[in-house]
A and B are shown apart, each in its own frame.
Chain A
Amino acid sequence: MAGGLGRRIGGYKPLQLLQGRPLLYWALKPYLALNLDILISVKDQFQKSSLINSLQNSNLNTSKINFIEDPLEISGQGPLCGIFQAMKMLPSGTLLVVSAVDQPLVNPQLLSELLSVGAFFVSLAVVCERDHTLEPFPGIYSSALMSELEDYLTNFSKRSLRGFLSYLSANKLLVTFRRWSKIDPKGQSFYNINTPEDLTNLERCFPQKNL
C-alpha cells in the first residue's frame, strides 16, 4: 500500500530514506525474499511514475512488480481502495499478502506463516492480534472476500480498514494469528513510520536491528 499522501512526514512517503534507501525498498524486501508476485497500490499515475523511477535506481529485481491505481469511483477510502482494486483484477481465491509502505521491518517468516494459514482456508482474511487489537498489516486478504468488501464499501458510511476487519470478524470470515510473537517477539513487523521523528528514531536504532 503506497497510496497515502504522507502529509505528516512531508509527502512522498515511499521515497523517504532509511539507511540511504527509500522506504519502498524496505517494504518490498520481505516479499522479494519469499519470491512473491508484487502489486504496488498507488493513488494515481503520477505516484506510479515516481515509484517506477525510484525502483529503477535500486538494485531490486523488478520483474515481478506491478502497479495498481485506486479506482476513481471509490477513491479516497485509503487502503481499502487498493485492496478492492487488487481483488477485482485477480482470480477469486488469490491470496493477497498486504502491508504498508511505511512498515520497513516486516518479518518475512511472519509473512510466510500468515500465508500458510491463509492458504489453508483460501477464502478468509488472516491478521495478527496484538493486545486484543487486530493489526490489519501485514495480513492476508483472500480475493474471495471481494463481495464482502464491496458490500462493506456500499453499506457502511464510516469506512476504514479496521472497520472492515470488524465486519469480517462479525461474519466469521477472519482468523487471527496470535503466534506472531514467536516469530517477531518485539512486534517490529507492525512498526510504521508516520513522522520524520519516527524515521529518525528508527535510523538511530537501525544498526541494532541487524537487517
Chain B
Amino acid sequence: MNTPIKVLVVDDDQNIRDSILELLTLEGYQVDSAANGKEALEKLSSLKPDVVLTDYLMPEMDGITLCKILKNNPETMDIGVILITGVNDLDTRVKGLLAGADDFLNKPFMVPELKARIKSLSKTKLYHDFLKDYQRKLEEEVEKKTADLLKANLSLQMALNEVKELSLEIIYRLAKAAEYRDEHTGYHIQRISHYSTLIGIHYGLKEEALEVLKYASALHDIGKLGIPDKILLKPGALTIEEWNIMKLHTVIGAEILKGSRIKYLKAAEKIALYHHEKWDGSGYPEGLKGPKIPLFARITAIADVFDALTTSRPYRKGLSLEEAFEIIARGRGTHFDPDLVDIFFKIQEEILSIRKLFKDEHEIPHLFKVSQVSSS
C-alpha cells in the first residue's frame, strides 16, 4: 500500500485551514494544519510532511520565515513549499523565491490548480526521498562490501605473513643446520643477523633492504654443508690444500642458493659468495676490491669476523672485546670497508648490547665432536 502524501497547511485563518484540510483529505492526502510558522515547525517532526502549503502573512512567524527555516535545514530542505500570495504580489514572490519557495499560489486560487501543484511538488519530494534512500542503501552496501574486502584483505595479509614467517624461519633454520655441522648451535646466526642489520640501519638502508639483509646474512656460511667433515671439524691447523677446500664454502654456498627468484635468497647468494672478500682485494674467492664487493657482503664480513673473534671455540678461547675491536680497526681500509668500520665503531655500544642479548650461555657438545671423543 502506498503511503499517503502528507501536507501541512499553514494559515492563520481557521476557516481557510479547515476548508483546505477538508478538500485535501477528500483527495486522499494526509493533512494537518497550523495557525502560523512557529506552530508549523512544532508539528514538523510528528507529521514529516512532503509538502507545506503556507500563507504569507501570519502572526508569530510568517510564511517567508518558515520557508527560509525549512530550506536551510538539510533534514527539511526537500519538503516542497507552496507560498500563498495575493494576485500580482510581485514583492512577496521575489521574497519567496529568495527564501527557497518551490511554488506559488495566487489568492483566491482554483482548487484544481492547488491539487496539481501539490501533486507536482509531492512527486518531486518523493523522487528526492527515493534518491536519498537509494544513496543510503548504496552507502550501506559499499560500507558492507568495504568491510568484507577489508576482512578478506586482512585474512590474506595474515596468510601472507604466515607464509613469509614460514619462509624466513626456514631460512633461519637452514642457516642453523649449516652452522650445526661446524662448531656449535648457539646464537651465532642471530648475532650476525642483528649486527649486520644494525650496521645497515646506520648506513642508511631502507626498511625493505634491511629485512633482506637480516635474513640473507644468516645464510653466509650455508656452503659449509659441502665441506668434508675431516676438514670442517679438524681441530688443528689446516694444510694449504685443506684450506683451499675450506675456502670453497663460499662458492658452494652460492651454488646452493643460485637461480632463486626470492629476493632473500638472491641476496644470500651474493653474501655467501663474497663475505670473505677483502676491501684491498686480498680476499677470496674472486679477489674483488673495494666497492666492487657487494655491500651486503661487506657488512656481513665485519659482523662475521667480529663474532668469530669474540666467540670461544672448543679449540680456542674467544678474544677480549678490546682485542677484537683492535683487529677490526686494523682491518679498516684493508680487510673492511672503511666507512662500515667507522659506522661499526660509532655503534659499538649497540653492537655490545646485541652480543649481550644473544650471548651463548653454554656450549652444547657437538655431535661429531662427541663421536670423535668417544671413538678416540
Contact = CB atoms under 8 A, between A and B. Distances in A.
B23 interface: yes
A21 interface: no
A206 B174 CA distance: 124
B18 A178 contact: yes
A116 B27 contact: no
B173 interface: no
Nearest to A121: B111
B26 A117 contact: no
B27 A172 contact: yes
B109 A120 contact: yes
A172 B19 contact: no
B26 A172 contact: yes
A179 B22 contact: no
Contact of A119 (B18, B108, B110, B111): B108
Contacts of B27: 172
Interface stretch (B8-16, B189-197, B248-256, B361-369): B8-16
Interface string A96-133: 00000000000000000100110111111010000000
Candidate in A113, A123, A126 with the most chain B CB atoms within 10 angstroms? A123
Q: Looking at chain B, what size class is its interface with the partner chain?
A: 10 to 19
B139 to A, nearest CB: 42
A120 B19 CA distance: 10
B109 A121 contact: yes
Given A172-B23, A172-B26, A175-B22, A124 B111 contact: yes
Interface in B106-124: 107-111
Interface string A153-179: 000000000000000000011011111
Q: Looking at chain A, what size class is its interface with the partner chain?
A: 10 to 19
B284 to A, nearest CB: 108
Contact of A116 (B15, B109, B111): B15
Nearest to B13: A116
Interface in B96-111: 107-111
Contacts of A120: 13, 16, 19, 107-109
A169 to B, nearest CB: 9
B110 A113 contact: no
A177 B13 CA distance: 13
B25 to A, nearest CB: 10
A116 B110 CA distance: 14
Interface string A37-58: 0000000000000000000000
B22 A176 contact: yes
Contact of B19 (A123, A173, A175): A175
Interface string B345-375: 0000000000000000000000000000000
B14 A121 contact: no
B23 A175 contact: yes
B373 to A, nearest CB: 116
Given A121-B111, A172-B23, 12 more contacts: A113-B15, A116-B13, A121-B19, A121-B110, A122-B109, A172-B26, A173-B111, A175-B19, A175-B22, A177-B15, A178-B18, A179-B14
Interface of B: 13-16, 18-19, 22-23, 26-27, 107-111
The 5 closest A-B pairs by CB, nearest first: A175-B19, A122-B108, A117-B15, A172-B26, A120-B108
25 contacts: A113-B15, A116-B16, A117-B15, A117-B16, A117-B19, A119-B108, A120-B107, A120-B109, A121-B109, A122-B109, A123-B110, A123-B111, A124-B111, A126-B19, A172-B27, A173-B111, A175-B22, A175-B23, A176-B19, A176-B22, A177-B15, A177-B18, A177-B19, A178-B18, A179-B15
